[in-house]
Amino acid sequence: MTQLKSFVEKVIKKNPGYGIRRTKKELDEKYNIQVGRDVLGKLLNLWGMSLGRKIKLKQPNMIQKILLSLAGRANLLIRTKLNKPFQKGDIST
């Protein structure tokens, strides 16, 4: 277990941009150590080691941007006081 940790540290220091999959592949090819991807991720969390690779968040597309900009006006009818059916009421704040 301590040997595995030292090999993982070597791979991470040599290639800081590697993710878990590439780190796993490097361990298998160079050091002939076979470890599962999920197990490797859990061991990294256990050891408090982090990879330099960050996951990019998806940018909202055009429709999502429009919906987000109109989100404040979407619930206008909820804030209105209706006295009769089919009546447009005054907005109460």
Over residues 21-35, the mean pLDDT reads 94
- Count: domains in the chain: 2
Q: Give percent of the chain with pLDDT exceeding 90.
A: 45
Same domain for 6 and 43, yes or no, is yes
Q: Give helix 2-14 / helix 20-31 axis angle, nearest 10°.
A: 110
The residue ranking higher by pLDDT, 2 or 75, is: 2
Report if residue 34 sits inside a domain. Answer: yes
Q: Which domain holds residue 43?
A: 2-47
Q: How far apart are CA 14 and CA 16, in angstroms?
A: 6
Over residues 55-83, the mean pLDDT reads 77
pTM of the complete model:
0.55
Lowest mean pLDDT among 24-33, 48-57, 84-93: 84-93
Cβ-proximal residues to 49 (8 Å cutoff; 6+ apart), any chain:
8, 9, 12
Report if residue 27 sits inside a domain. Answer: yes
- pLDDT for the residue numbered 43: 93
